[in-house]
Structures are given as structure tokens and as C-alpha cells.
Amino acid sequence: MSKPKVICICGSTRFADLHAIKRWEFEKTAENICLMINYLPEWYAKQEFGDGKNDHFGEACGLEASLDKLHFAKIDLCDEVYVINYEGYIGESTRNEINYAKGKGIPIIYMEETLNE
């Protein structure tokens, strides 16, 4: 087997379920390794933060800046970035990650076709 391609999945944490599905689709062939957000199940988020903060765990914990920095390091390690842009949504953090990857010359693939990229 040849060396697996490393893919960094980027996108809003509100689509964490799509991140997990895409990771499965990429890795089930054993031809890819995926780096992505830390997916926490909804029951854990409710246990830790109550209702209303379930899609921004890092912010709720005061870890947004350090987790953003960690995600940039994941991009540094990857061969390709895959963007979860469900229904065209790209938030500020994801936009920063896209710009970072572009600056590094890393190829970017979008889940949905974009008109302005």
C-alpha cells in the first residue's frame, strides 16, 4: 500500500455530523488519513455546557484561540483541505482556514460548488 493522503477537513462545528461522515467516507478505503475538529456528542456538550452551546465547544470552554492555532497546525500537516460548506455556508473561522491553506499552496476541495472561490 502506498502512503495515505492526509486530508484536513474544515468547516463549521454546526456541521460536525457531516465532518464525521466525510471522515468515514475518506478513511474507509484506508487510502486517506483525516485531520479534523474534535467531534463531541451532543449529550456531552449538554452535560458540560447545558443547552444552546452545543456547536461551539471551544468557545464555551475559552479555548477558541488555541484550537484555531491547532487547526492551522493540522493544515500544515495535510496534503489537501476539504471544506464542508453545506448549503454554501462558510463561517469566519473556516474562511481563515481556507486563506491559510491558500497561502501555503495547499489544494482545497469544497463539498459543494462555490461561485466566489
Which tens digit of pLDDT belongs to each residue from 47-59? 776 665 555 666 6
Instruction: Please state the pTM of the whole predicted model.
Output: 0.84
Q: How confident is the model at residue 30 (pLDDT cuts 50, 70, 90)?
A: confident
User: Per the domain annotation, does 92 fall within a domain?
Assistant: yes
What's the number of domains the chain is made of?
A: 1
Q: What is the reported pLDDT for 107?
A: 97
Q: What is the reported pLDDT for 60?
A: 60
User: Per the domain annotation, does 116 fall within a domain?
Assistant: no
> Residue 117 in 3-state DSSP?
coil
For position 18, which CATH number holds? Answer: 3.40.50.450
B/e letters for 83-94, b = 16+ CB within 10 Å, e = fewer, are: bbbeeeebeebb
User: Per the domain annotation, does 36 fall within a domain?
Assistant: yes
User: Per the domain annotation, does 117 fall within a domain?
Assistant: no
Domain with 54 in it: 5-110
Specify the residue for cell string 456541521. Answer: 15
Instruction: Classify the C-alpha dihedral 61-66-67-68 as positive or negative.
Output: positive
User: Per the domain annotation, does 35 fall within a domain?
Assistant: yes
User: Per the domain annotation, does 115 fall within a domain?
Assistant: no
Could you tell me if 80 and 107 are in contact, meaning their C-beta atoms sit under 8 angstroms apart?
A: yes
Which tens digit of pLDDT belongs to each residue from 72-115? 999 999 999 999 999 999 999 899 999 999 999 999 999 998 75
User: Per the domain annotation, does 67 fall within a domain?
Assistant: yes
CA distance 35 to 74: 6
